[in-house]
Amino acid sequence: MRTLLITGPGGSGRTTVAAGTALAAAREGARTLVLGTDRTDTLGAVLGVPVGSGPVEAAPGLTALRVDPDAGFRADLAALQDRAASMLDLLGASRLEPEETGPLPGAEELAVLRALRDAALSEAYDLLVVDLPPAPRALSLLALPEELRRYLRRLLPSERQAARALRPVLGRLAGVPLPAQWLYETAARLDLQLAAVEAVLADRGTAVRLVAEPGPAGADAIRTTALGLALRGLRTDALIATRVLPESVEDSWLAGPVAQQRKTLEEWRESYDVHPVAHLGRDPRGTDDLAALAVPGAGAGTVTVEWPVTDRLAQDGVLVWHLPLPNARRDELDLIRRGDELVVTAGPFRRIVPLPSALRRCTVDGAALREGELRIRFRPDPELWPRTP
């Protein structure tokens, strides 16, 4: 299955583009599922049919579904209370009933990730189109699986589970209770679920499709979003320019906005596969309006993002790690080597990435930003690098 993640600045028409993309793909013959992530039914309003937590047929070959974070949170809470029943009884704590609970902060993001994983692994569809939140929230959401897995590995390392048979003895020797087995099992289950989401995001069939209205605000938002996506190693396959005004307008007051849009579109075409979508003069509603927008389906080409290591040992005595970071600025870049990891800060974004195995035996020798690419030089550590005869 191919997965398209739709995002862009708020108010840019993301949901409309997601619905239009899904409809176009379905009419091209792909069994398509469009997944809405808004609490309100904005997706249903665009499609012209109510969309809830159960799948509904929005058009021939097109199924629509909306994430329900409340139901997911209640189910998770009930399962957690069941697994921790003995501890709750020991503490004399009363259980929470599903009817008296509401989702905690972060529950909505986890519900979206679970729905993304389940939908992407389904064999009932050829294409999954996800209407993500606005770009800043979407970037945080897409970073969540990797970050949570890193926290879990630090707080509950898997190697500690090997000593579970000794846990009662160790607890008596230390004088403090050690984590119960159910806690490790819960962490392992969550880690497995997050790994499945990471696999979906890293799949070659997954791409991000950006949506923005051409103009100064849209251009700034796309620059920032593209940098955040690149730092996460996520691929962008197309940029949908929404509400594009016709070049033939005669009203003098529209000449300025038309020229502004034209300039932005020219700049975007230098870096993206741009698909302009005309302004209908009204908010699109229903499949007829979506078809009139002529949003491309799933056929746009995918750009592969790679972070290659170049061997320059013979010429300069270094290995060079290439990190594509379009729109990055030198004064907003920062690098910190920490053990076998590299902390990379680019603008408002930060990512902790494990070093490739060869680079773990090297020291950082310097870095440079050239042509939208961060090139980090590593010099072999004589104490760790294999000696040549």
* 50 and 129 belong to one structural domain: yes
Could you read off the pLDDT of 230-288 as tens digits, one per residue?
999 998 989 999 999 888 766 677 788 888 999 999 999 999 999 999 988 888 999 99
Residue 147 is assigned to a structural domain of this protein: yes
* 127 and 184 belong to one structural domain: yes
CA atoms within 13 A on the CB side of 22: 34
Tokens of 75: 């189910």
* 221 and 115 belong to one structural domain: yes
* 317 and 287 belong to one structural domain: no
Alpha-carbon distance 213 to 276, whole Å? 9
Residue 300 is assigned to a structural domain of this protein: no
Residue 39 is assigned to a structural domain of this protein: yes
pLDDT of residue 111: 86
* 370 and 287 belong to one structural domain: no
**Whole-structure pTM value:** 0.85
Specify the range with the lowest mean pLDDT, choosing from 66-75, 141-150, 193-202, 204-213.
66-75
* 268 and 203 belong to one structural domain: yes
Distance, CA of 12 to chain centre: 18
Could you read off the pLDDT of 170-184 as tens digits, one per residue?
444 444 444 556 667
Number of domains in the chain: 2
* 319 and 264 belong to one structural domain: no
pLDDT of residue 170: 45
Q: Which amino acid is at 220?
A: D
Instruction: State which of 293, 323, 346 marks the end of a domain.
Output: 293
Could you read off the pLDDT of 88-113 as tens digits, one per residue?
555 566 666 666 566 666 678 888 88
State which residues form the domain around 362.
309-380
Instruction: Identify the CA nearest to 235 among candidates 276, 272, 197, 193.
Output: 272
Mean pLDDT, to the nearest integer, of 141-162? 79
**239: domain CATH number?**
3.40.50.300
**335: domain CATH number?**
2.60.40.790
* 134 and 268 belong to one structural domain: yes
Cross-strand pairs, 309: 321
Alpha-carbon distance 141 to 147, whole Å? 10
At 301, the pLDDT band (50, 70, 90 cuts) reads low
Could you read off the pLDDT of 338-371 as tens digits, one per residue?
999 999 999 999 999 999 999 999 999 999 999 8
* 358 and 283 belong to one structural domain: no
* 275 and 331 belong to one structural domain: no
Q: What is the DSSP string of 124-168?
A: S-SEEEEE---HHHHHHHHHHHHHHHHHHHHHS-GGGGGGGGGHH
